[in-house]
Amino acid sequence: YQIDTEMGAKEWESLVPADGGIVYWRNNETGELETCTTSLFHQLRCLNVVRLELIRPTRLEMHTPNERLLAHCFNYIRQTNLCRSSLFVEAMSDPFDGVNFTYPRVCKDWRRVYEAA
């Protein structure tokens, strides 16, 4: 995905459903409906927050999140990586030469999550 192009912005926006991937969960103790989201959509929104902050100096006309939201997103992504990262050893490669996977990865199929959202 591009970081600072019109097409890139559309790509990033398409990752999260228009309603933000909001789901409602009934609290068993209180009976109240709670507004929730999946960690998938939370992570994707946070990555977009970081993207928007990175391009802010070049796109002043765009709405950008505040520092508090950026700090939240960095910490959320950090915690997610610490809790769910793979421990496979990866070969070092040129960061400007794309992604070089040295072992097969099995990704989750998120279609049902998107369909439900």
Q: Is 65 helix (H, G, I), strand (E, B) or coil?
A: coil
Q: Where are the domains of the chain?
A: 6-116
What secondary structure letter does DSSP report for 16? S
pTM: 0.63
Residue 34: both structure tokens together:
């709670």
- Whose CA is closest to 65, among 5, 85, 73, 26? 73
Predicted confidence band of residue 61 (pLDDT cuts 50, 70, 90): low
Distance CA 17, CA 45 (A): 10
- Judge whether residue 67 has pLDDT over 90: no
